[in-house]
Structure 1
Amino acid sequence: MKNVQRLSTLARPLAAAMAMAGLAALGLAGCDTATANTAAAAPAAPPITAATVIVRQVTETQEFSGRLEAVERVDIRARVGGFITSVNFKPGSVVKKGDVLFEIDSRPFQAEASRAEAAANSAAARAGLAKLELDRSERLLADKAIAQREYDEKASSVKELDANVRAAQASLQAARLNLAYTRVTSPIGGRVSKAEVTTGNLVDGAVILTSVVSNNPIYATFDGDEATYLRVGRDAQRGAPVTVKVGLANESGFPHEGKLEFVDNRLDTSTGSVRMRATFDNADNTLVPGLFARVQLGGTEGGKATAVLISERAVGTDQNRKFVYVIGDGNKAEYRPVVLGPVIDGLRVVRDGVKAGEKIVVNGLQRVQPGAPVNAQLVAMDSGQPKGDMKVAAASGREKE
């Protein structure tokens, strides 16, 4: 019995030691499990594509909204009153300078021209007779057969009749002009509108019969901002050629090229803009006055500048700010606000925020977090095609396979 009690007493510390060892083992196992779970929960660096910021010599352009305008526009009116006898054009057709558009009843004007012609002939006959009598009076005066007073009267009568002849000829000329004005012609070449007055109506100079607008060349008018004026205004006023391109609403790009023709002499302080106008060739009549036009204003010939360029895909929007992600040390994404310029050849000009040689994220912006590592594949900035398996290096900034 004593031996049994002694064994029981020795077993208790041993059991306690084994229990403690078991708890320690369980604790170590729990730590290993937590560590494994933590490692499994750590997110992998998201795969993205990046490109190197490039620098090029470019001719900077700016885009504006504008309207096409005719170089010449004429409201056609009658110069004499009368009844319309014929309309000689098809609405919307192209007419040449001098084409007869309307005819007015010419009979009253023909009669007036005939009367004026007869009056002019009568005045000329009287003047001719007076000159013959004056020549006769000169011979008689030399022979002292008439008095000086009688000779002076005949000389004065000749001058008066000559004046009457000139007045009669002026009346005849006016009558012939009015007769010609019964044929209403187009003063310019271009496209005619519809006839506002039809045959049989009585018209006068207050009535607009139709209108004609020229179609070649044509203007594109737009409002440039202050920066544009400072960039090209002085060159344009000196006559230096400034390229302007336009595109219509149903066209892509800017297929029509012209020259800046006019820059206003002041900036409108209420709008901060300046009126500008470019001239375009329109031999195919594609451009029509009144149409909306997208205007791209370039610079003077040879006026190239160095610009930092990035892809449009690399630009994100944060409320009212634009930003890019620059890949910095340790392949970590750095949030960088940028100031953007115009688009040139598919790339966006960056005025401030990034430098040449820096690498920025161009695809996968939605998977990037500021300060988080990324798994970047390098592509060309202007093509978007991967350059093999090249990766963005870490802190050294070198490229590796």
Structure 2
Amino acid sequence: MTPAPRLCLLLAVLLLPLAGCGQPTAQGQAAPPPPQVTVAVPTTRTVTDRDEYVGRFVAVDVVNVSTRVSGFLDKIHFTDGQMVKEGDLLFTIDQRPFKIAVDQAQANLTQARANLDFTKADLERARTLLEDRTSNAISKQTFDQRTQAERTAAAIVLSQEAQVRSAQLDLGFTEVKAPVTGQIGDRRVSVGNYVTGGVSGTPTLLAVIVSTDPIRFEFTIDEASLLRMTRRKAGADIKGDPVTLKLIDDKDFVHEGKLDFLNNVIDRETGTIRGRAVFDNKNGLFRPGMFARIRLLASDPYQALVVPDAAIGTEQVKKFVYVVGPDNKVMQRFVTLGPLVGDQRVIRDGLTADDKVVVNGLMRVRPGVTVNPQMAAAPAAPAQGSASAGASGAAASSAPAK
């Protein structure tokens, strides 16, 4: 054998073991175990759908305080922002001109009454003389004139009595009192300014009082939600239904009230109707103008299947869950969602009570994959839940929110 073939054979022998170094064969390699996931069957709960709306508080009474008589402001009897009760004295107008008017009216009344007494006595004398047919001391015409004088004097007395009452009323109007119980704002006029009453011109605004307890909450309801609520009550009035409210810093709807008003027409431009609820506000937590969310009943209690909201997946606009079949293979199941009950989501369609839904390990599965399912511990579900739809803008229907 020549040297060249020997060299080639030697190199082949040396490279043969290197060719297989570090390259494991597929034969004999163990397959990875199926991923472990946690599954749970849907839970049946008794739930009640509720709609959410955004609105704001308004005072039951808003009073612009002004005076009925004109004059110079003499005294202010409150501090800005304090709570006042109905009948509390707020302002005093300079009373001296009005006291003079009362005295003058009473003097005129005294004079009118004296004149009436004289005309009555004169009439009685004329009547006596007229009845004495032998004397002919007075004529029938004179008697009629004295009768007319007595009647005129009586009318003047009535007029002067009215003048006295009017002057006393104006004097009383110099003390401006709180017409309602509530919180008063800041004073709009200082002492010494001339204020105008409502009779002689545009009244001067002195202050504003708003009632605080109870307080109203106004919001708008869309037409579809209104129809759903009306049909739930079979056409009966929905006023008086219980409502709950959540402030901007509340974690849940913890404030309870009731629906007390629903407008009689739907706004043509917005397709909504104005609603109103009333709440107790003894602690003064709610203030007019404050925003909040309110929940209204949208259905009667019903049985529904719920699954953890974290188990819901999204594929474009569709919602789905992963379900483990009898052969431990994962299937994708599209579902129709209902409102949220705590951390559980109502499933309106797409699942049965026996389906095993993947609730943990979603990132390790995909349709067709074989998994090792482990049953989750059954949650201690309450007997009844409150299902709330998500609010969007001014109102929210009970359509799926996720």
TM range (shorter): 0.7 to 0.9
1:325 alignment counterpart: 322
Q: Higher helix proportion, which one?
A: 1
> 1:183 offset after TM fit, Å?
1.2
Structure 1: which 5+ residue stretches go unaligned?
1-25, 385-401
Q: Whole-Å Cα distance in 2 between the matches of residues 328 and 225 of structure 1?
A: 42
Q: Whole-Å Cα distance in 2 between the matches of residues 383 and 362 of structure 1?
A: 16
2:126 alignment counterpart: 137
Partner amino acid, structure 1, of 2:293: R
> Per the alignment, in what secondary structure is the counterpart of residue 75 of structure 1?
strand
2:373 alignment counterpart: 376
Whether 2:190 is the aligned partner of 1:193: answer no
Q: What root-mean-square deviation, in Å, do the aligned CA atoms of Structure 1 and Structure 2 show?
A: 2.8
Partner amino acid, structure 2, of 1:158: E
Q: Whole-Å Cα distance in 1 between the matches of residues 156 and 354 of structure 2?
A: 92
1:95-244 residue pairs with structure 2 within 5 A?
A: 95-144=84-133, 145=136, 146-205=138-197, 206-233=203-230, 235=233, 238=237, 241-244=240-243
> 1:193 offset after TM fit, Å?
0.7
- Cα pair distance change 1:152/1:248, threshold 3 Å: same
2:290 alignment counterpart: 291
Whether 2:345 is the aligned partner of 1:356: answer no
- Cα pair distance change 1:383/1:112, threshold 3 Å: same
- Cα pair distance change 1:49/1:169, threshold 3 Å: farther
Structure 2: which 5+ residue stretches go unaligned?
1-18, 198-202, 382-402
Q: How many residues align?
A: 352
CA contact (8 A) 2:51 2:298 kept: no
Q: Whole-Å Cα distance in 1 between the matches of residues 208 and 102 of structure 2?
A: 29
> 1:382 offset after TM fit, Å?
4.4
> 1:321 offset after TM fit, Å?
3.4
CA contact (8 A) 1:311 1:382 kept: no
Whether 2:335 is the aligned partner of 1:338: answer yes
Q: Whole-Å Cα distance in 2 between the matches of residues 125 and 343 of structure 1?
A: 86
- Higher RCO (CA-CA < 8 Å; seq separation 6+): 2
TM-score, L = length of structure 1: 0.79
Task: Spell out, residue by residue over 1:33-70, the C-alpha distance to the aligned partner (whole angstroms, 9 max, x if none).
Answer: 33556x64x6x543332222223322322222111111
Partner amino acid, structure 1, of 2:355: E
CA contact (8 A) 2:239 2:259 kept: no
Structure 1 residue aligned with 2:76, among 84, 87, 106?
Answer: 87
> 1:326 offset after TM fit, Å?
2.9
The list of structure 1 runs, each at least 4 consecutive aligned residues, that deviate by more than 6 angstroms after superposition, is: none
> 1:289 offset after TM fit, Å?
1.4
> Per the alignment, in what secondary structure is the counterpart of residue 61 of structure 1?
strand
Q: Whole-Å Cα distance in 2 between the matches of residues 173 and 111 of structure 1?
A: 14
- Cα pair distance change 1:139/1:287, threshold 3 Å: same
Look at both structures and tell me which one has the larger radius of gyration over its CA atoms. 1
